Amino acid sequence: MSREQRGPNEKLGTVLALAGISNAGLARRVNDLGAQRGLTLRYDKTSVARWVSKGMVPQGAAPHLIAAAIGQKLGRPVPLHEIGLADADPAPEVGLAFPRDVGAAVKSATELYRLDLAGRRAGSGGIWQSLAGSFAVSAYATPASRWLITPADSSVARDATADEPRELVHPAEGADGANSGQPLKVGHSDVVKLREAAEDARRWDSKYGGGDWRSSMVPECLRVEAAPLLLGSYSDEVGRSLFGASAELTRLAGWMAFDTGQQEAAQRYYIQALRLARAAADVPLGGYVLASMSLQATYRGFGDEGVDLAQAALERNRGLATARTMSFFRLVEARAHARANDAQAAGAALRAAEGWLERARDGDNDPSWLGFYGYDRFAADAAECYRDLKAPRQVRRFTEQALSRPTEEFVRSHGLRLVVSAVAELESGNLDAACEQGTRALEVAGRISSARTTEYVKDLLHRLEPYGDEPRVVELRERARPLLMAPA
| Architecture field, domain 374-488 | Alpha Horseshoe (1.25)
CB atoms within 10 A of CB 271: 26
**For residues 320 and 290, is the Cβ–Cβ distance under 8 A?**
no
Question: In the prediction, which pLDDT does 174 show?
Answer: 39
| Alpha-carbon gap, residue 291 to 299, rounded angstroms | 12
Question: In the prediction, which pLDDT does 251 show?
Answer: 96
Domain limits, the chain: 2-83, 99-133+170-281, 374-488
- pLDDT under 70 in the chain at which residues? 1-6, 36-39, 60, 87-92, 116-134, 162-183, 207-216, 405-409, 486-488
Question: In the prediction, which pLDDT does 39 show?
Answer: 62
Question: In the prediction, which pLDDT does 181 show?
Answer: 52
pTM equals: 0.77
Residues 6+ apart with CB under 8 A from 481: none
Residue 120, CA atoms < 13 Å, CB-side half-sphere: 11
Residues 6+ apart with CB under 8 A from 229: 170, 184, 186, 190, 191, 194, 242, 246
Q: What is the DSSP letter of 92?
A: -
CA 251 to chain centre: 9
Residue 470, CA atoms < 13 Å, CB-side half-sphere: 12
**For residues 63 and 57, is the Cβ–Cβ distance under 8 A?**
yes
| Alpha-carbon gap, residue 328 to 266, rounded angstroms | 20
| Architecture field, domain 2-83 | Orthogonal Bundle (1.10)
Question: In the prediction, which pLDDT does 358 show?
Answer: 96
Enumerate the β-bridge partners of residue 158. 234
Question: In the prediction, which pLDDT does 347 show?
Answer: 97
> Hey, CA dihedral for 34, 38, 44, 46, is it positive or negative?
negative
Q: Which amino acid is at 363?
A: G
pLDDT tens digit sequence for 285-305? 999 999 999 999 999 999 999
Question: In the prediction, which pLDDT does 382 show?
Answer: 96
CA 71 to chain centre: 19
Question: In the prediction, which pLDDT does 417 show?
Answer: 87
CA 7 to chain centre: 40
Beta strands in 160-233 (DSSP E): none
